[in-house]
Structure 1
Amino acid sequence: MSLRSSRGARSPRAGRATSHRAADRRPVETAGVESAAEAAVATTDGEGAGAPWYSEGLRFECTQCGNCCSGPPGAVWFTPQEADLMARELGLATTEFLERYTRRVGARRSLKELKIDGRFDCVFLDRSSRPGKAICGIYRARPSQCRSWPWWPEVVESPESWAETKRRTPCPGMDAGPVHPLVEITIGLTGA
């Protein structure tokens, strides 16, 4: 699974989009709870009823391999506000950014891809600046779809979906590095 999707929905690769794309996420509706993250934690406290399989947290650390930003053709969706931020990061007017770095997919826009060695890399994936690493050329302004990887509903749905995503991406950072607590994962899932 990558950050891109082949059908407008996230694929089982790493970070490219599917029906659970960040731009389509809505905060969890809560009554008297300050955030969606607090709501999720509130529903899992107590006797464990409703506790997700990852309630003790999950290990993840980005290794800058670039696998989540490459693979089969897909889509990286973004909001108009994110387009403005990416354009500003590059020192461009939003219209110029959209013309140079995005493509129309139906009624929406996605970041362009470059076919390199049989893979489709995000236009901003830089494999040459740091030997052995793949870095994002707009990291500080990357879309929420990218920021929320790997905390996507279809990735954390079950231990099996987590393992399958780790295998298919492949993502060496999954099950490595520090433990991310339930609250942090929930924030990634809800965009809260």
Structure 2
Amino acid sequence: MSSDGNGQAFSCTCCGECCRGKGGIVLDERDQERLSAHMGMTVSEFLDRYTETRGYKPHLRVGDDEYCVFHHNELCSVHEARPDICRAWPFFRGNLVDAVSWELAQDYCPGLNSRVSHKEFTRQGATYLRDNDLASRSGPDRPEALRVDIQSLLKE
């Protein structure tokens, strides 16, 4: 890959680094419905068992190792039903609009291609979010990292 912006900006290596941290994964209503159906339980049962409420928002629990409750054997046990915030990584608002944030993310995410320009990363990220309906919705339960103006990013 060359430094002129060609190449894939991100290719997941399944390292699990994005599954770790105490910041928490905020679940919006769509995430709650998708995960509870995947687990074969009601939304209420799912929330009671797998989340904790912080700031009036449900967050997925993390273990003592600081990994998501669904991170098992180096993989996501609910990958096909994972939350939108997980589906969107690394194309979060901060990484898309701020080159420094994007550079910092490269320090712990081996799937980020540092040979791709930030402009190209942003173009690919905005396209991915748009094509996968990950940034078009808004609302008080929507994670801040997914509140992205896709159209303005694609114009740049």
**TM-score, normalising length from structure 2?**
0.70
- Relative to structure 1, the CA distance from residue 158 to residue 57 in structure 2 (aligned partners, 3 Å threshold; closer, same or farther) is farther
Partner residue in 1 for 2:68: 122
Runs of 4+ with deviation above 4 angstroms: 54-58, 178-184
Residue correspondences, number: 127
Partner residue in 1 for 2:101: 161
Partner residue in 1 for 2:135: 191
Q: Percent identity?
A: 28
- Identify the structure with the greater strand proportion: 1
Q: Which one of the candidate residues 90, 105, 113 is aligned to 1:175?
A: 113
Alpha-carbon contact 1:56-1:182 (below 8 Å) kept: no
- Relative to structure 1, the CA distance from residue 155 to residue 83 in structure 2 (aligned partners, 3 Å threshold; closer, same or farther) is same
- Identify the structure with the greater helix proportion: 2
- Return the index of the structure with the highest Cα Rg: 1
Report the CA distance between 1:158 and its aligned residue: 3.7
Partner residue in 1 for 2:82: 142
Q: CA RMSD in A?
A: 2.9
- Give the match's secondary structure for 1:60: coil
Alpha-carbon contact 1:57-1:182 (below 8 Å) kept: no
Deviations 1:100-134 (A, max 9, x none): 00001021111111012xxx1111111x2xxxxx2
- Give the match's secondary structure for 1:59: coil
Structure 1 residues not aligned, in runs of 5+: 1-53, 129-133
Alpha-carbon contact 1:112-1:123 (below 8 Å) kept: yes
- Give the match's secondary structure for 1:122: coil
1:95 aligns with 2:58: no
- Give the match's secondary structure for 1:110: strand
Deviations 1:26-83 (A, max 9, x none): xxxxxxxxxxxxxxxxxxxxxxxxxxxx976752110110000113x11101112210
- Partners of 1:183 and 1:166 lie apart in 2 by 17
Partner residue in 2 for 1:61: 11
Give 1:166's aligned amino acid: Q
Structure 2 residues not aligned, in runs of 5+: 137-156
